[in-house]
């Protein structure tokens, strides 16, 4: 445990400062090339640089390479390869609008390095009741999990700072859970995700100077999913991600098909005071944000804080669940 | 409203715990005999079908719960 402190500190410093220092020049670069999009929740035509995925993936790769130099684990290689593949998939979608099928299918393929490197344990652990062995079914779980976590984080990236702020809370909750279940090496490998998210949040928080784009959101989600698999805490990871899962569940249960968010009607609109309110269009999908503002219009910042409170609540549930892993009925 | 969302999260958590219990205690040890070499194959198919049914029930419960909690708020 003591020998892991140096790699942990080194990788966290690299993760934070690579993103913290790289993002401002990336913003200038994107603005210079006119790679900006309109911030839809602002009164004026505020243009924001996009995508910021490049600084996120650079921070993740650099910090995980530092860790690999110390630990030489296949699990770290799986994190690097799968997360990098997710970034490329997101970047393609940022530059060229792809169909609704593209990301789920491509992310399923991105999950295969986890299988190829054997960086998983096919016993699925549940709190209180123990484990169940599902050697064949677990392979399907791996292939499904990365598209689910990737698209789930992507779907919550709707307001300034929400995706990165949510990832800060969810990924640090995941790291705490990994320490509780005494999977120390993967716990340390998970820390860079929290520090990268924290550094990016500095520029993504309201008012955003940069958006992560699909490349950033898929990178966050894919790394989170990969850590859940290689750390053997799939159920705990799902619990920490519940607010984002609710968002996807509400969206799918109202739209009833896999589609791109840009292809559906906006579930919210702006009041004259620039507060977000639920749309009057009955055919628009129900989303987490629409539910939050259903009873009363709220500012973008207020909605973001409600989502962060929900993330903290599910993070606490995940930590309780991690403690329950050591208890057997 | 906000309490409703926290309640929804809490119920999802309970459903995950209960689902885990059913999976480990009932579905995991389940086996079938009388079909010779096909025992494991048929047993796996039955397990997969039961698991899918459980997921469908889980989604139906959540859908009902969503309507129950947010009926007043959702005007659609």
Structure tokens at A94: 């940022």
List the one residue out of A298, A139, A321 whose CA is nearest residue B10.
A321
Query: What pLDDT is attached to residue B41?
Result: 79
Q: Please report residues of B whose CB lies closer than 8 A to that of A250.
A: 66
Residues β-bridged to residue A128: A328
Per the domain annotation, does A141 fall within a domain? yes
Q: Which residues of A touch B27 (CB under 8 A)?
A: 132
Tell which wins on pLDDT, A23 or A253.
A23
Q: Are B16 and A238 an interchain contact pair (Cβ–Cβ within 8 Å)? A: yes
Q: Is A210 helix (H, G, I), strand (E, B) or coil?
A: strand
The domain tally of chain B equals 1
B75 contacts A128? CB cut-off 8 A:
no
Q: Is residue A276 part of a domain?
A: no
Q: What is the pLDDT of residue B76?
A: 46
Q: Domain tally for chain A?
A: 1
Task: Verify whether the Cβ–Cβ distance A282 to B70 is below 8 Å.
Answer: no
Of A108-117, A154-163, A179-188, A275-284, the poorest mean pLDDT is in: A275-284
In a domain, A20, yes or no: yes
Containing domain of residue B59, as a range? 44-71
B53 inside domain: yes
Distance from CA of A137 to the nearest CA of B (A): 9
- Distance between CA A5 and CA A247 in Å, rounded? 37
What interface predicted TM-score (ipTM) does this complex get? 0.87
Best of A237, A269, A287, A291 to disrupt the B interface (most B CBs within 10 Å) is A291
Report yes or no on A162 lying in a domain. yes
Q: What is the mean pLDDT of residues A283-308?
A: 89
At A150-194, the pLDDT tens digits run 999 999 998 999 999 999 999 999 999 999 999 999 999 999 999
Q: Which residues of B touch A313 (CB under 8 A)?
A: 6, 9
Q: How many CA within 13 A on the CB side of residue A252?
A: 16
Residue B17 lies in a domain: no
Instruction: Judge whether A269 lies within some domain.
Output: no
pTM score: 0.91
Please check whether residue A263 lies inside any domain of the structure: no
Q: Which of A127, A253, A291 lies nearest to residue B63, judging by beta carbons?
A: A253
pLDDT tens digits, A256-271: 666 666 666 778 888 8
Quick one: average pLDDT of B18-26? 86
Which structural domain, as residue segments, surrounds residue A203? Answer: 2-258+300-325
Nearest CA distance, B13 vs chain A (angstrom): 7
- Within 10 angstroms of residue A193's Cβ, the number of other Cβ atoms is 30
* pLDDT tens, residue by residue, A56-67: 999 999 999 999
In a domain? residue A288: no
Please report whether residue B64 resides in a domain: yes
User: Minimal Cα–Cα distance from B17 to chain A, Å?
Assistant: 7
**CA–CA–CA angle B53, A248, B25 (5° rounding):** 35
């Amino acid at each position: 445990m003591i020998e892991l402190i140096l790699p942990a500190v080194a990788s966290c410093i690299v993760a934070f400062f690579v993103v913290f220092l790289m993002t401002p020049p990336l913003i200038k670069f994107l603005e210079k090339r006119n790679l900006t999009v309109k911030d839809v929740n602002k009164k004026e035509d505020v243009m924001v640089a996009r995508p910021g995925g490049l600084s996120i993936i650079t921070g993740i790769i650099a910090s995980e390479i530092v860790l690999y130099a110390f630990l030489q684990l296949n699990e770290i290689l799986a994190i690097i390869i799968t997360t990098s593949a997710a970034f490329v998939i997101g970047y393609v979608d940022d530059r060229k609008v792809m169909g609704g099928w593209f990301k789920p299918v491509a992310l399923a393929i991105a999950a295969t390095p986890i299988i190829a490197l054997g960086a998983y344990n096919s016993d699925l652990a549940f709190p209180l009741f123990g484990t169940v062995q599902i050697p064949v079914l677990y392979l399907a779980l791996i292939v499904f999990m990365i598209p689910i976590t990737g698209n789930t984080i992507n779907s919550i990236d709707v307001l300034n700072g929400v995706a990165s702020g949510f990832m800060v809370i969810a990924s640090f909750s995941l790291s705490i859970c990994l320490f509780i279940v005494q999977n120390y090496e993967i716990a340390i490998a998970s820390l860079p995700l929290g520090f990268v998210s924290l550094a990016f949040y500095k520029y993504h928080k309201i008012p955003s100077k940069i958006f992560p784009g699909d490349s950033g959101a898929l990178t966050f989600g894919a790394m989170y999913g990969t850590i859940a698999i290689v750390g053997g805490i799939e159920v705990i990871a799902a619990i920490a991600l519940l607010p984002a899962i609710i968002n996807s569940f509400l969206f799918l249960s109202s739209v009833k098909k896999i589609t791109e968010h840009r292809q559906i009607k906006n579930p919210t609109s702006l009041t004259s005071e620039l507060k977000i309110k639920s749309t009057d269009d009955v055919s628009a999908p129900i989303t987490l944000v629409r539910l939050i503002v259903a009873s009363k219009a709220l500012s973008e910042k207020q909605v973001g804080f409600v989502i962060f409170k929900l993330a903290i609540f599910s993070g606490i549930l995940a930590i309780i669940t991690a403690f329950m892993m050591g208890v057997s009925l | 409203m906000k309490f409703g969302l926290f309640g929804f999260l809490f119920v999802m958590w309970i459903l995950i715990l209960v689902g885990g219990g059913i999976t480990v205690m009932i579905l995991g040890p389940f086996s079938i005999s009388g079909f010779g070499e096909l025992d494991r194959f048929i047993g796996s198919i039955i397990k997969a079908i039961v698991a899918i049914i459980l997921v469908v029930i889980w989604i139906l419960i959540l859908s009902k719960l969503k309507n129950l909690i947010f009926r007043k708020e959702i005007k659609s």
